[in-house]
Homo-oligomer: A and B are copies of this chain.
Amino acid sequence: MIRVGVVDTSFARVDMGRAAEEEIKRLTTKLKVVRRTVPGIKDLAVECKVLIEREGCEACMALGMPGRDEKDKLSALVASYGIMMAQLMTGKHILEVFVHEEEAESEAELVELCRMRAKEHARNLVRMLLHPEDMLRLAGTGQREGFPDVGSAKKLR
């Protein structure tokens, strides 16, 4: 079985890691999920790197929920930058699954958005590892994780 890491945070207000894990298990029996929880989004990158290098994970999902303030946006930038560096240092994909609090207008919407985005990225992870040819077919098709897809732009007839 191919091992994949799913790392989320205690800061987030929705259990995004569980949504991701459930979807991976629903889609395939070929991946084994390794779960970790860290305090905040800036702790995700190193945890993913450790899962790849010491736990043999082939890819990871890094799930988190940046806050609304200006300083939260800078935190998200640094967290995101760390996930980028962890990918380049390991040569493995780490899908960043962030939901900004202000993307949803109510708590109920937030729960739904977090779960949907986590699940759709779980599907991306499964595709990338097991069916990379399916990714090619989606090139330029305007996929949106957690929201309705926008589709390809139409050219003038």
Taking beta carbons and an 8 Å cutoff, which residues of A are in contact with B? 8-18, 35-39, 42-43, 45-47, 49-50, 53-54, 70-71, 73-89, 91-93, 95-96, 100, 107-108, 110-112, 114, 121, 124, 128, 132, 135-145, 150-156
For residue A128, which residues in chain B have a CB less than 8 angstroms away from its CB?
38-39
What distance in Å separates the Cβ of A62 from its nearest Cβ neighbour in chain B? 11
For residue A36, which residues in chain B have a CB less than 8 angstroms away from its CB?
132, 135-136
| Residue of A111, A121, A139, A144 with most partner-chain B CB within 10 A | A139
Judging by beta carbons under 8 Å apart, are B91 and A53 in contact? yes
16 A–B contacts from the bound complex (CB under 8 Å): A8-B140, A13-B152, A15-B139, A45-B87, A45-B88, A53-B91, A54-B91, A71-B76, A71-B100, A78-B84, A85-B85, A86-B88, A88-B89, A108-B155, A111-B153, A111-B155
A99 to B130, CA, bound (A): 30
A78 to B153, CA, bound (A): 25
A102 to B124, CA, bound (A): 27
A36 to B132, CA, bound (A): 8
Judging by beta carbons under 8 Å apart, are A135 and B38 in contact? yes
For residue A111, which residues in chain B have a CB less than 8 angstroms away from its CB?
153-155
What distance in Å separates the Cβ of A146 from its nearest Cβ neighbour in chain B? 12
Given A13-B142, A154-B107, also A80-B75 (CB < 8 A): yes
For residue A81, which residues in chain B have a CB less than 8 angstroms away from its CB?
78, 81, 84
